[in-house]
């Protein structure tokens, strides 16, 4: 007679109980998954437009994605998403420039509608083509990372050493991060400025002033990634970069992180619900989109 050995793993957990716990978790989470898949948010729609290539901000510092989505929301709502009315308006404007369309929307000189029939088909096709280009850019950045990891290698030891920098000034952060990498850090995390999770916009450009942290912006991501690439070459091992995709702009930060080749993201809806009093429905919807981006 033979007996079958049951693998309990490092934590000595009963596999049957683990399977049961996962079944129960799946059952408990399914309604949330269904809810998240049938709703959208302003940040999800802004993230889509960022994938479509819309960048920049007004002279007052308001990102053009905010101005454009707010204009669509005010006129036709977001039940059909923002891309459909935006690309329909773009076709009617005949200039093909999202930034110019956003400026016109901010000035109140363009109207939005939800197209139907052939106009809807054309707008949907145009939106998918442009957004797909943004997704391909994220995929290329991942492939770029894979090449760099093969070139420089991963740290030989486990676990990797994770170190936080957070001066508020991205240029000071860079110096600290590179010094930390030379001292043995494998992953650099840049803590966000206090309260950024409650900002309903992503600041533009490099920032030199923060509060107990440094603002998460696309330019800051790019600057730190470039600096750590220099450190990777110098040290002969790939140094990873992480940041935080949470709060009211979770989907947008996820997209910007992908575009700038961040390696890891802390992406947790419960942070916003428990500690920032963010609407649970909104942040569950945002997390679903964000994790689809991170999965690229």
pLDDT of residue 95: 74
Please indicate, yes or no, whether residues 148 and 158 belong to a single structural domain of this protein. no
Domain boundary among 152, 178, 205: 152
Q: Is residue 270 part of a domain?
A: yes
Stated length of the chain: 296
Domain count, the chain: 2
214-258: per-residue pLDDT in tens?
999 999 999 999 999 999 999 999 999 999 999 999 999 999 999
Domain boundary among 132, 152, 172: 152
Burial 155-172 (b: 16+ CB within 10 A, else e): beeeeeeebbbbbbbbee
Please indicate, yes or no, whether residues 112 and 125 belong to a single structural domain of this protein. yes
Please indicate, yes or no, whether residues 143 and 159 belong to a single structural domain of this protein. no
Please indicate, yes or no, whether residues 116 and 208 belong to a single structural domain of this protein. no
Q: Tell which phi-psi region holds residue 12, choosing left (phi > 0), alpha (psi between -120 and 50) or beta.
A: left
Please indicate, yes or no, whether residues 140 and 66 belong to a single structural domain of this protein. yes
pTM: 0.92
* Angle of CA points 257, 288, 15, to nearest 5°: 110
Domain that includes residue 73, residue range: 39-152
**pLDDT confidence band for 8 (50 / 70 / 90):** low
pLDDT of residue 6: 56
What is the distance between the alpha carbons of residues 276 and 269, in angstroms, rounded to a whole number?
10
Please indicate, yes or no, whether residues 197 and 110 belong to a single structural domain of this protein. no
149-190: per-residue pLDDT in tens?
999 999 989 999 999 999 999 999 999 999 999 999 999 999
Please indicate, yes or no, whether residues 183 and 296 belong to a single structural domain of this protein. yes
Please indicate, yes or no, whether residues 141 and 163 belong to a single structural domain of this protein. no
Please indicate, yes or no, whether residues 143 and 162 belong to a single structural domain of this protein. no
Q: Is residue 17 part of a domain?
A: no
Domain boundary among 124, 152, 180: 152
- Give the burial class of 84: count Cβ atoms within 10 A of its Cβ; 0-12 exposed, 13-18 middle, 19 or more buried: buried
């Amino acid at each position: 007679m033979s007996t079958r050995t049951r693998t309990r793993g490092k934590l000595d957990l009963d596999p049957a109980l683990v399977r049961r716990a996962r079944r129960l978790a799946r059952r408990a989470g399914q309604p949330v998954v269904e809810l998240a898949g049938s709703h959208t948010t302003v940040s999800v729609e802004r993230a889509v437009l960022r994938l479509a290539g819309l960048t920049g901000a007004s002279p007052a510092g308001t990102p053009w994605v905010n101005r454009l989505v707010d204009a669509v929301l005010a006129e036709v709502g977001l039940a059909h998403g923002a891309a459909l009315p935006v690309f329909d308006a773009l076709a009617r404007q005949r200039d093909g420039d999202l930034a110019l369309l956003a400026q016109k929307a901010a000035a109140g000189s363009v109207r939005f509608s939800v197209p139907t029939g052939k106009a809807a088909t054309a707008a949907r096709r145009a939106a998918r083509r442009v957004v797909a280009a943004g997704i391909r850019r994220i995929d290329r950045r991942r492939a770029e990372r894979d090449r760099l990891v093969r070139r420089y290698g991963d740290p030989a030891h486990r676990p990797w050493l994770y170190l936080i920098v957070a001066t508020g000034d991205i240029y000071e952060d860079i110096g600290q991060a590179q010094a930390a990498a030379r001292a043995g850090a494998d992953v650099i995390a840049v803590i966000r400025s206090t309260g950024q999770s409650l900002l309903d916009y992503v600041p533009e450009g490099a920032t030199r002033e923060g509060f107990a942290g440094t603002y998460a912006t696309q330019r800051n991501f790019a600057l730190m990634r470039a600096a750590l690439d220099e450190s990777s070459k110098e040290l002969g091992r790939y140094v990873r970069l992480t940041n935080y995709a949470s709060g009211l702009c979770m989907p947008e930060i996820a997209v910007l992180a992908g575009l700038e080749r961040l390696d890891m993201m802390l992406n947790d809806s419960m942070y916003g619900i428990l500690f920032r009093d963010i609407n649970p429905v909104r942040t569950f919807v945002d997390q679903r989109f964000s994790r689809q981006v991170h999965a690229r």
